[in-house]
């Protein structure tokens, strides 16, 4: 538990779990680009108990990702406890439990955000999982099931009693899905009363927002999801900015204590130059060892298309990407495009809808 708190104090910017996105390759990529802590996408506890090949594949990670957590979902306390033990045996640094997923297929079974409506059931599940493992157990929730029953404060109290290491709060109710804005005032109120670390999450798109949310809400860390898909440099830039504006953190961030990748992302401004063409190779190097050619191409197209958001001729670039079926060609296309926009600032696309659905 202490190791996680120390990791957060050194780098409070955490990669949010995202299904189909925060896989082995993307977590390594984000870690190289300054994310402090990374978490897998949600993994079915039942799938683990059946030893489903596809499920087990989602739990893979490597040393470069530490500290790394594996997120589980499910409704049965014993199955969840068994899956948590499996995650511990793999050597993960912590296990995260999903209580935020709004997807009907998950909620109907009583898992994900459905547990926000049944705190006794959540308490029993927490107690079984915490008793089953020695590694820290964290949870990710929404502010509540719907506007009339926002109960993140009660969940935080329950979690503190059960020995949970942190509560990450996506600042929307389950009923809101991805509409409206994350309510950071509410997150700040929960933090004020909480007896355990709180992470805030929702709608962080710029380094300045990441740092101001952190400071204004008083949370112990912020989770960033979709923002890092538009700006892959978001973690690195947020960390550098935070170190500049939070001199009280300077001693904790002393070079001898900083993780190796954080050193590379230090505040020296020449280190903050964005190298978009070089990013393409870094992405391929991170993804390629963990998947076949077909998946590599899908991921490359997806990420390059997102990273182009706000830059000129992005639509034409995406069209060319999706017409290509050759990896070398894709790399070349992406390199050429990013070289052409290298010196430009992207347009502000914060008002445009972007990935308005997910499992938390």
Ligand X SMILES: Cc1cc2nc3c(=O)[nH]c(=O)nc-3n(C[C@H](O)[C@H](O)[C@H](O)COP(=O)(O)O)c2cc1C
Beta strands in the chain (DSSP E): 13-15, 38-44, 68-73, 94-99, 137-144, 167-173, 198-201, 221-224
Question: Which residue stretch of 17-25, 155-163, 188-196, 237-245 sits at the interface with ligand X (rule: CB under 6 A)?
Answer: 17-25
CA angle 72, 76, 82 (to 5 degrees): 60
Choice from 25, 69, 227, 232 touching ligand X (CB under 6 A): 227
291 in active site? no
Tell me the closest approach of the beta carbon of residue 310 to ligand X, in angstroms: 16
By rule CB under 6 A, what string of x and - marks binding of each residue 316-335 to ligand X?
--------------------
> Contact with ligand X (CB under 6 A): which of 44, 143, 201, 265?
201
Tally the C-alpha atoms within 13 A of residue 7's C-alpha that lie toward its C-beta. Answer: 24
Q: Do residues 227 and 207 touch, judged by C-beta distance below 8 A?
A: no
98 near ligand X, rule: CB under 6 A? yes
Q: Which string of x and - marks every residue 70-89 that binds ligand X (by CB under 6 A)?
A: -x------------------
Taking CB under 6 A as the rule, which mask of x and - marks residues 33-52 in contact with ligand X?
A: --------xx----------
Q: Does 355 bind ligand X (CB under 6 A)?
A: yes
Q: Which is nearer to ligand X, 47 or 337 (CB)?
A: 47
Single out the segment in contact with ligand X by CB under 6 A; choices: 47-55, 121-129, 198-206, 319-327.
198-206
The answer to whether 219 and 200 have CB atoms below 8 angstroms apart is: yes
Selected catalytic residue, list 48, 101, 111, 130:
101
**Residue from 150, 191, 226, 301 that binds ligand X (CB under 6 A)?**
226
Phi, psi of 241 (to 5 degrees): -65, -45
Alpha carbon of 79 to those of 86, 197, 245: distances in Å? Answer: 11, 26, 45
Q: What is the DSSP letter of 144?
A: E
Q: Which residues pair with 94 in a beta bridge?
A: 69
Task: Pick from 4, 8, 14, 18 the residue near ligand X by CB under 6 A.
Answer: 18
Binding residue (CB under 6 A) for ligand X from 24, 31, 140, 150: 140
Question: Which DSSP state fits 17?
Answer: P
Q: How many residues bind ligand X (CB under 6 A)?
A: 24
Q: Quick check: bond before 71 cis, omega within 30?
A: no
Which residue of 67, 207, 232, 360 would you call a contact of ligand X, by CB under 6 A?
360
**Per-residue binder mask for ligand X (CB under 6 A), 231-250, x = binder:** --------------------
What is the C-alpha to C-alpha distance for residues 38 and 17, in angstroms, rounded to an integer?
8
Angle between helices 314-323 and 293-307 (to 10 degrees): 170
Torsion of CA 50, 38, 94, 57, to 10 degrees: 20
Which residue in the set 36, 100, 144, 197 belongs to the binding site for ligand X (CB under 6 A)?
A: 100
- The catalytic residues are 101
Binding site for ligand X (CB under 6 A): 16-19, 21, 41-42, 71, 98, 100, 140, 170, 201-204, 224-227, 355, 358-360
């Amino acid at each position: 538990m202490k190791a996680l708190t120390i990791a957060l104090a050194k780098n409070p910017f955490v990669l949010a779990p995202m299904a189909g996105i925060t896989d082995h390759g993307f977590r390594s990529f984000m870690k190289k680009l300054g994310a402090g802590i990374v978490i897998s996408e949600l993994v079915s506890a039942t799938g683990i108990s059946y030893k489903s090949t596809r499920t087990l594949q989602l739990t893979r990670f490597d040393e470069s990702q530490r500290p790394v957590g594996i997120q589980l979902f499910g409704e049965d306390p014993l199955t969840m406890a068994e899956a948590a033990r499996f995650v511990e045996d793999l050597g993960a640094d912590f296990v995260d439990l999903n209580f935020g997923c709004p997807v009907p297929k998950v909620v109907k079974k009583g898992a994900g955000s459905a547990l926000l409506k049944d705190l006794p059931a959540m308490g029993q599940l927490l107690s079984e999982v915490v008793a089953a493992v020695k590694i820290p157990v964290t949870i990710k929730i929404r502010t509540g099931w719907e506007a009339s029953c926002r109960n993140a404060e009660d969940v935080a109290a329950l979690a503190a009693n059960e020995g949970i290491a942190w509560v990450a709060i996506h600042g929307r109710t389950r009923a809101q899905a991805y509409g409206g804005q994350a309510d950071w005032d509410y997150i700040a109120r929960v933090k004020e009363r909480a007896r355990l670390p709180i992470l805030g999450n929702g709608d962080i798109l710029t380094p300045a927002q990441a740092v101001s949310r952190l400071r204004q809400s008083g949370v112990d860390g912020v989770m960033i999801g979709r923002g890092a898909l538009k700006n892959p440099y978001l973690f690195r830039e947020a960390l550098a900015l935070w170190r500049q504006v939070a001199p009280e953190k300077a001693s904790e961030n002393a070079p001898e204590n900083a993780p190796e990748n954080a050193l590379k992302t230090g505040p020296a401004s020449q280190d903050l130059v964005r190298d978009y063409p070089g990013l393409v190779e870094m992405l391929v190097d991170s993804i390629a060892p963990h998947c076949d050619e077909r998946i590599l191409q899908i991921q490359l197209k997806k990420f390059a298309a997102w990273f182009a958001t706000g830059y000129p001729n992005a639509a034409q670039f995406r069209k060319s990407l999706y017409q290509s079926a050759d990896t070398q060609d894709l790399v070349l296309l992406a390199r050429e495009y990013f070289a052409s926009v290298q010196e430009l600032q992207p347009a502000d696309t914060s008002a445009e809808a972007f990935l308005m659905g997910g499992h938390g």
